[in-house]
Amino acid sequence: DIVMTQSPDSLAVSLGERATINCKSSQSVLYSSNNKNYLAWYQQKPGQPPKLLIYWASTRESGVPDRFSGSGSGTDFTLTISSLQAEDVAVYYCHRYYSTPYTFGQGTKLEIK
Amino acid sequence: QVQLQQSGPGLVKPSQTLSLTCAISGDSVSSNSATWNWIRQSPSRGLEWLARTYYRSRWYNDYAVSLRGRITNNPDTSKNQFSLQLRSVTPEDTAVYYCAGASTGAGYLDSWGQGTLVTVSS
């Protein structure tokens, strides 16, 4: 299976500051047939299912605040929260979805400093 | 907006069968664009994709290799739902189980059930 590795495992950021989470795939998720990166980001709060934030590596899901952005291509991706809000405390996961078996990163726990 | 409602027992005995159902509203299990998935989450394994079913003129099913032979994911068009069965469970199958949908079929999961904690214990 393709392995997704996130860094760091945990992160503490001050309110209003930038948070950056990285995700590295063991194989490229960029497919030449349509030039798209099959990479999504999810946010999970305690007791809740994951919530889709970003797909195609950089497309924000409807209703997701614009402080969330995704970037990267091929094997290296980044989720950025431009100005951390208290409600952003959560665990964040990357997800490769071109083909099954789908695989997820191990998660990055984001806290307030 | 798609909503998924899970149902099923939270406690299963070792060697028995885990059965969960996911009822869909706002879309159809027979949609020609959506796919319908099961994912589980445990501290030891994180998020683990288990199975997918979808309709493209006929039904297709994909399963995690590690579970092949023990798992089925069946659609029920009469009730607009899909169901997971995992046979011969062990304590290692203890996890929170989620159903999830990908409305465009591309694979990103844009709808999720509420989750069911399933404990395998005698």
**B6-51: pLDDT as tens digits:** 999 999 999 999 999 999 999 999 999 999 999 999 999 999 999 9
Q: Which residue of A has its CA nearest to B52?
A: A100
The tokens for B17 are 């069968």
Query: Closest Cα partner for B109 from B42, B37, B46?
Result: B37
Q: Which residue of B has its CA nearest to A54?
A: B108
What letter would DSSP give residue B83? E
| A84–chain B nearest CA distance, Å | 23
Other beta carbons within 10 Å of A76: 13
Task: For residue A50, give the nearest of B48, B52, B112 by CB distance.
Answer: B112
pLDDT at position B105: 85
The residues that bridge with A44 in the sheet, in sequence order, are A91
- For A21-69, write each residue's pLDDT tens digit: 999 999 999 999 999 999 999 999 999 999 999 999 999 999 999 999 9
- For B47-72, write each residue's pLDDT tens digit: 999 999 999 999 999 999 999 899 99
Is the per-residue pLDDT at A1 higher than 90? no
The tokens for A45 are 């709060």
Is the per-residue pLDDT at A17 higher than 90? yes
Q: Does A51 sit within 8 Å of B108, measured CB to CB?
A: no
| A55–chain B nearest CA distance, Å | 7
B77: phi then psi, degrees, rounded to nearest 5: -70, -30
Residues of A in contact with B64 (CB under 8 A): 100-101
Task: For residue B110, give the nearest of A52, A56, A105 by CB distance.
Answer: A52
How far apart, in whole angstroms, are the C-alpha atoms of residue B115 and residue B31? 23
pLDDT at position A4: 98
pLDDT at position B47: 98
A vs B: CB pairs below 8 A: 58
Element (DSSP H or E) covering residue A87? none
Task: For residue B47, give the nearest of A61, A99, A104 by CB distance.
Answer: A104
Distance, C-alpha A110 to centroid of its chain? 12
Task: For residue A55, give the nearest of B48, B100, B108 by CB distance.
Answer: B108
pLDDT at position A70: 98
How much of chain A exceeds pLDDT 90, in percent? 98
What single letter denotes the amino acid at residue A1? D
Helix, strand, coil % in chain A, rounded to nearest 5? 5, 50, 45
How much of chain A exceeds pLDDT 70, in percent? 100
Residues of B in contact with A56 (CB under 8 A): 108
Q: Does A100 sit within 8 Å of B109, measured CB to CB?
A: no
- The average confidence (pLDDT) of chain A is 97
